Structure 1
Amino acid sequence: MAVGSAQADVQALVQLMHAMNVEPEELLAAARPQNVPTFEEFMRLVRAAASPGLQRSYKSYWDRIVECWGGRRLNEPTPREVGELLEHIRANALRRRTHVDGAGAVCNLYYALLRVYRFAIDQEVLSSRQDPMPKVPRPRSAKSQRHALSPQLYQEIVRTAVGTGRDPRLDGLILRFHLETAARTGGALNLRPMDLDPERLLVTLREKGSIQRLQPVSRTLMRALLDHAEERGARDKASPLFRFRDGRPLTKRRYETLWIRVGKYVPAIGEENISMHWLRHTTLTWVERNFGVAVAVAYAGHSAGLSLWRGVTAHYVKASLEEVATALQALTGEPHPLAAHWSWSAAALEVHPLQEAGR
Structure 2
Amino acid sequence: MEPLKKIIIKDYPYRQEYISYLDIQWGLVVTTIKSHDREINHFIEFIKDEFSLESFIPGDIKASHIRRYLAYLKNHRENGPSTRNSKLATIRSYYKFLEENEYLEEDNNPTLFIRKAKVSRPLPVFLSLEEAQDLLKASVKNTRWPERDHAVLRFFLQTGCRAGELVKIELDHIDLEEKYVRLLGKGNEERIVPLTPNTIEALKDYLAVRDFSPRGKNHLFLGARGDPITYLGLNKLFKEACRKAGILKPNLTLHKLRHTCLTLLLKEGVDLCTLKELAGHQTIRTTVVYTHVTQKEIREAVKKLPLD
Give the TM-score category using the shorter length: 0.5 to 0.7
Which of these residues, 177, 185, 193, is aligned with residue 215 of structure 1? 193
2:51 equivalent in structure 1: none
In 2, the alpha carbon distance for the partners of 1:58 and 1:142 equals 27
1:252 corresponds to 2:231: yes
After superposition, give the CA deviation of every residue in 1:273-307 in whole Å (9 maximum; x if it has no partner).
Answer: 1123222222222323323223323332446x536
What is the SS of the residue equivalent to 1:205? strand
Alignment map for 1:12-161 (pairs within 5 Å): 40-47=12-19, 52-54=24-26, 56=28, 57=32, 59-69=34-44, 71-88=55-72, 103-120=81-98, 123=102, 125-126=104-105, 128=107, 131-141=109-119, 143-161=121-139
Work out which of the two has the higher radius of gyration on C-alpha atoms and give 1 or 2.
Answer: 1
CA gap 1:275/1:222 in 2 versus in 1, 3 angstroms: same
Which of these residues, 136, 153, 175, is aligned with residue 197 of structure 1? 175
What is the SS of the residue equivalent to 2:134? helix
1:239 corresponds to 2:218: yes
After superposition, give the CA deviation of every residue in 1:167-204 in whole Å (9 maximum; x if it has no partner).
Answer: 33332221111111112112321222212212221122
User: Does the 8 Å contact 2:273/2:284 carry over to 1?
Assistant: no
1:229 corresponds to 2:211: no
What is the SS of the residue equivalent to 1:66? helix
Q: Any unmatched runs of 5+ in structure 1?
A: 1-38, 94-100, 311-359
In 2, the alpha carbon distance for the partners of 1:133 and 1:226 equals 48
What is the SS of the residue equivalent to 1:163? coil
CA gap 1:92/1:222 in 2 versus in 1, 3 angstroms: farther
In 2, the alpha carbon distance for the partners of 1:118 and 1:187 equals 24
How many percent of aligned residue pairs carry the same amino acid?
Answer: 19
What is the SS of the residue equivalent to 1:40? coil
Residue correspondences, number: 262
1:318 equivalent in structure 2: none
In 2, the alpha carbon distance for the partners of 1:208 and 1:166 equals 32
User: Does the 8 Å contact 1:178/1:276 carry over to 2?
Assistant: no
User: Does the 8 Å contact 1:193/1:229 carry over to 2?
Assistant: no
Note the aligned Cα RMSD (angstroms): 3.6
How far apart are residue 134 of structure 1 and its match? 4.0
2:263 equivalent in structure 1: 285
What is the SS of the residue equivalent to 1:177? helix
Alignment map for 1:181-196 (pairs within 5 Å): 181-196=159-174
CA gap 1:150/1:224 in 2 versus in 1, 3 angstroms: closer
After superposition, give the CA deviation of every residue in 1:22-58 in whole Å (9 maximum; x if it has no partner).
Answer: xxxxxxxxxxxxxxxxx92244554455562537355
What is the SS of the residue equivalent to 2:192? strand
In 2, the alpha carbon distance for the partners of 1:80 and 1:308 equals 30
CA gap 1:234/1:79 in 2 versus in 1, 3 angstroms: same
TM-score (norm 2): 0.68
Alignment map for 1:331-350 (pairs within 5 Å): none
In 2, the alpha carbon distance for the partners of 1:150 and 1:121 equals 46
Which of these residues, 269, 275, 281, is aligned with residue 296 of structure 1? 275
After superposition, give the CA deviation of every residue in 1:334-359 in whole Å (9 maximum; x if it has no partner).
Answer: xxxxxxxxxxxxxxxxxxxxxxxxxx
2:306 equivalent in structure 1: none
In 2, the alpha carbon distance for the partners of 1:104 and 1:222 equals 37
What is the SS of the residue equivalent to 1:143? coil
CA gap 1:222/1:239 in 2 versus in 1, 3 angstroms: same
In 1, the alpha carbon distance for the partners of 2:271 and 2:35 equals 39
In 1, the alpha carbon distance for the partners of 2:25 and 2:118 equals 23
User: Does the 8 Å contact 1:103/1:142 carry over to 2?
Assistant: no
CA gap 1:153/1:220 in 2 versus in 1, 3 angstroms: closer
AA of the residue aligned to 2:155? F
The structure, 1 or 2, with the larger RCO (C-alpha pairs under 8 Å, 6+ apart) is 2
How far apart are residue 61 of structure 1 and its match? 2.5
Which of these residues, 143, 147, 150, is aligned with residue 169 of structure 1? 147
User: Does the 8 Å contact 1:110/1:139 carry over to 2?
Assistant: no
AA of the residue aligned to 1:156? D
Moved beyond 6 Å, runs of 4+: 235-238, 307-310
AA of the residue aligned to 2:69? L
AA of the residue aligned to 2:58? L
TM-score (norm 1): 0.60
In 2, the alpha carbon distance for the partners of 1:245 and 1:44 equals 31
User: Does the 8 Å contact 1:234/1:240 carry over to 2?
Assistant: no
CA gap 1:270/1:76 in 2 versus in 1, 3 angstroms: farther
